[in-house]
Amino acid sequence: MQKRVVIAGGGTGGHLYPGIALAKALMRQDMDIKVSFVGTQKGIEARVLPREGFELKTILSAGLLGKKRLSRWISWVKLPIGIAQSMRFLINKRPSLVVGVGGYASGPLVLSAWLLRVPILIHEQNSFPGLTNKWLGRIADKVAVSFKETSKFFPRDKVEVTGNMIREEFCQPREEFPKAPQGLFHLLVLGGSQGAHSINVSMMEALQSLTSKKGNIHITHQTGESDHQMVQREYENSGLSHDVRPFIDDVAEQYRKASLVICRAGATTLAEVTACGKVSVLIPYPHAAHNHQEKNARLLDAANAGELVLDKELSGERIAQSILRAMEDPQRMQEMEDNSYKLGKRDATEKVGAICMDLLKDANQKSGRTGKTEGNYVLSCF
């Protein structure tokens, strides 16, 4: 009998890619599992999921936190519409399990699953959970968290510490990583799936300070669409070896080659960095809900696995200082790489997958005891 799983979330790569990692892990474990996604039309999922071969149902949904006046009212209007769309989709699909991985679509879909008595798993990626996941954790059957410190925000009997889910390609042993040419320092600059303007500007300002290292450094920079041409021009004028792209599709390969990563401090980015055992300069997005990115970054900074630089302190001079120090102190970098690798949770996806399989098994047993066919529990609520 085919088992259907619906994964809700997206908006950014940080929410979407853990869901994709889980979907692929479940289908590897059981060929009878079919996975669908629920997201929004404006999120990255609308571009990525069709390419990955997954079905995507889009609903109306928007965040409430930080919105003002008209925007907040519009978000409230979208909420019941999104719930209605989610209910209809779930009734049609009759899933055995719903998984919420964060993003605007997660709230309406998970709430609908609870109303329809569909088993629910919530995955909280950040060290400090948002209000939506705190609330959804009360109605979920299980809650998986990335950090031990996060457990206190959820019911003790539901929560399990798993780490943050990452794609299989990030879990390659570092002994198998490609070796950079002798003396060549690979710098990887990321601003999330949409880029980060403040990081882009600071890197452009830093290029002049790095020209003395010409021939010894190669920079791969993900800019996002809006800044791409501007940043590309600055690199061309600098004469430094570079690879500037709006979006990096082969990001796992780029991580493996990197000597240093400059990035935001989203939970998925940190999971990928530590899985690969890379040293990072972490620049938290200053407007993240509940300042969760800074809280994430401080965990790595405290473990001497990364360096925290607040966005308000960011400048070309400051970022160049971190890069040059990394290039000139290989012993310090090796120690930090070891610390980063120890923090990596390369089995997180498999752990979350095991929880999903347990929930699917329980749902199947309950269905067998009551004599219901697949999905009949959904219709019994009306």
Model confidence pLDDT, tens digit, residues 252-298: 999 999 999 999 999 889 999 999 999 999 999 998 877 889 999 99
In this structure, are 86 and 139 located in the same domain? yes
Residue 378 has pLDDT above 50, yes or no: no
pLDDT value at position 217? 96
Would you give the distance in Å from CA 55 to the centre of its chain?
19
In this structure, are 176 and 81 located in the same domain? no
Average pLDDT of the residues in 95-102 = 94
In this structure, are 139 and 155 located in the same domain? yes
Give residue-wise pLDDT tens across range 240-264: 999 999 999 899 999 999 999 999 9
Give residue-wise pLDDT tens across range 34-50: 999 998 888 889 889 99
Average pLDDT of the residues in 91-116 = 92
pLDDT value at position 53? 93
In this structure, are 319 and 367 located in the same domain? no
In this structure, are 219 and 333 located in the same domain? yes
pLDDT value at position 64? 47
First vs last C-alpha separation in the chain: 25
When pLDDT is cut at 50, 70 and 90, the band that residue 369 belongs to is: low
Give residue-wise pLDDT tens across range 57-87: 988 765 545 556 666 555 656 778 889 999 9
In this structure, are 202 and 133 located in the same domain? no
Q: What percent of the chain has pLDDT over 70?
A: 89
What's the domain range around 297?
Answer: 172-343
In this structure, are 267 and 190 located in the same domain? yes
In this structure, are 95 and 209 located in the same domain? no
In this structure, are 282 and 181 located in the same domain? yes
In this structure, are 144 and 15 located in the same domain? yes
Question: Taking a C-beta distance cutoff of 8 angstroms, is the pair 162, 145 a contact?
Answer: yes
**How many domains in the chain?**
2
Residue 375 has pLDDT above 60, yes or no: no
- 287: CATH: 3.40.50.2000
pTM exceeds cut of 0.85: no
In this structure, are 227 and 315 located in the same domain? yes
- CA dist 341 and 329 (Å) reads 19
In this structure, are 144 and 196 located in the same domain? no
